Amino acid sequence: MIRLFILLLGLGGNAVAEDRLNDILVHPPYEENYTCSDHSYNDQAPDVFRKTGTDCVIVRMHKVGEKKFLKIYSDEGLKNENYYGWRQPVLSPCDCLVKEISRSNKVNVPGMTGNRDEVGYVSLISEGGVSFILVHLGEIFVSEGQLVSAGSKVGLIGNNGMSRAPHVHIVAWKDDEPLQIRFNPKLIGTTKPSAPDA
């Protein structure tokens, strides 16, 4: 019985390994504690940065009586200002070149999405050819052509585009193949100054 279980476990592991995306280890997106949720993989998406990605939100501990819970907002989360991530710094995942930026003055009401075209984002590329896009930024601190260090502040968390709450959507890819993003937990809480303009 145990041998059969091990055999089945081994088969399952091989099947999963064949279907997995390549991954990349990068600098965490925030200075504070956070949690991320991956988008399901969509092989039919029109472009690589819509095939998958991860949404990251800042979390804080709430005490209710003797119990403690992680939450993403205070009160009921009906205002952007109630979210712990609202207007908090977003950090560069890598030592990268800023390829493109798009600023947006649009601010969505929590629980309601806006237009895909009204989104703030920063597009980056590493020396090794890995591309990143950080989406739903409210303010952007970098310029196209600027070199940024991993962990440097590139903008602030916003709520625009196809977003229902303050967070950052992050996508990574290389050679038109999406990458599974993993964040280096040893670097949480570390921030670097931005590099001078290129």
Residue 180 lies in a domain: yes
* 5 in a structural domain: no
Q: In terms of residues, how long is the chain?
A: 198
What pLDDT does residue 17 have? 53
- Say what the pLDDT of residue 41 is: 81
Residue type at 58 in one-letter notation: I
Residue 142 lies in a domain: yes
Predicted pLDDT of residue 108: 97
Q: What is the pLDDT of residue 194?
A: 55
Question: Does 10 map to a domain?
Answer: no
Give a three-class secondary structure readout of the chain: CHHHHHHHHHHHHHHHHHHCCCEEEECCCCCCCEEEEECCCCCCCCCHHHCCCEEEEECEEEEECCEEEEECECCCCCCHHHECCCCCEEECCCCEEEEEEECCCCCCCCCCCCCCCCCCEEEEEECCCCEEEEECEEEECCCCCCEECCCEEEEEEECCCCCCCCEEEEEEEECCEEEEEEECHHHCCCCECCCCCC
CATH of residue 155: 2.70.70.10
Question: What percent of the chain shows pLDDT beyond 70?
Answer: 86
Is residue 16 included in any domain, yes or no?
no
Number of domains in the chain: 1
Residue 103 lies in a domain: yes
Is residue 15 situated within a structural domain? no
Domain membership of residue 45 (yes or no) is: yes
Task: Count CA atoms closer than 13 A to 25's CA, side-chain side.
Answer: 5
pLDDT in tens, 70-117: 999 998 999 999 999 999 999 999 999 999 999 999 999 999 999 988
Summarised one tens digit per residue, pLDDT across range 117-133 is 899 999 999 999 999 99
**pLDDT, tens digit, 9 for 90 and up, residues 26-68:** 999 999 999 999 987 887 777 776 778 999 999 999 998 999 9
Range of the domain at 141: 21-187
pLDDT at 193: 63
pLDDT tier for residue 4 given thresholds of 50, 70 and 90: very low
